[in-house]
Each structure stands twice: as C-alpha cells, then as structure tokens.
C-alpha cells in the first residue's frame, strides 16, 4: 500500500530535496521503515534509542497526531498522507 510522506525542510537533504516521497506501509512504523529503506538517515533523526518518536517530532496521519491515536502502530490507509512535522519551540 503506497502512501505519501510529507518531509519537512530540515530533513529534505535526506530525500534529495523532495518535499514529498512515496513509500509502502500499513502502519506508521512500516511507513518509517520504508522511508528509512529508501532514504537512509530518517530513523536516527525521528526515533529515540528506545524506538519511539522523539519528543520534538510530530507525525500526523490525515491531520491526526499519531500520539493521540496508536503511536507507531497507527494504521495508514492506502493513498493517505503522513506528515512529519518538527515541533516548534516558542517563548
């Protein structure tokens, strides 16, 4: 199942400058595995040593934050968009 991943500007060096890439996966974890396979370097920037999303990384499936769904086990329907959005600190 193919999904579109929106890549933030700060990580586009890993995708050769592409803002969106297509990968296969049925869950967020599988999508991230596909992203890592196609564009190595994503997992070390997105996941902590325990394999969970880093605090400053937000991942959305169709505008829904996966932290409020099933985390990395969140289902990703075929054709859906997964957006990686770095947290913005304010002050």
Number of domains within the chain:
1
C-alpha 64/C-alpha 83 separation (Å) is 10
Residue range 29-55: mean pLDDT, rounded: 96
Confidence of residue 88 (pLDDT cuts 50, 70, 90): confident
Length, in residues, of the chain = 91
Q: What is this structure's pTM? A: 0.92
Query: Does residue 17 fall inside a structural domain?
Result: yes
Query: Does residue 91 fall inside a structural domain?
Result: no
| 40: containing domain | 2-86
Mean pLDDT of the chain: 94
Confidence of residue 34 (pLDDT cuts 50, 70, 90): very high
Confidence of residue 89 (pLDDT cuts 50, 70, 90): low
> Bridge partners of 58?
85
For 1-25, write each residue's pLDDT tens digit: 799 999 999 999 999 999 999 999 9
CATH code, domain with 53: 3.10.20.30
């Amino acid at each position: 199942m193919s999904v579109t991943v929106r890549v933030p500007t700060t990580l586009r060096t890993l995708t050769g400058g592409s803002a969106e890439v297509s990968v296969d996966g049925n869950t967020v974890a599988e999508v991230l595995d596909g992203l890592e396979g196609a564009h190595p370097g994503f997992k070390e920037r997105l996941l902590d040593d325990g394999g969970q999303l880093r605090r400053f990384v937000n991942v959305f499936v169709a505008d829904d934050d996966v932290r409020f769904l099933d985390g990395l086990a969140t289902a990703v329907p075929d054709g859906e968009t997964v957006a990686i959005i770095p947290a913005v600190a304010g002050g």
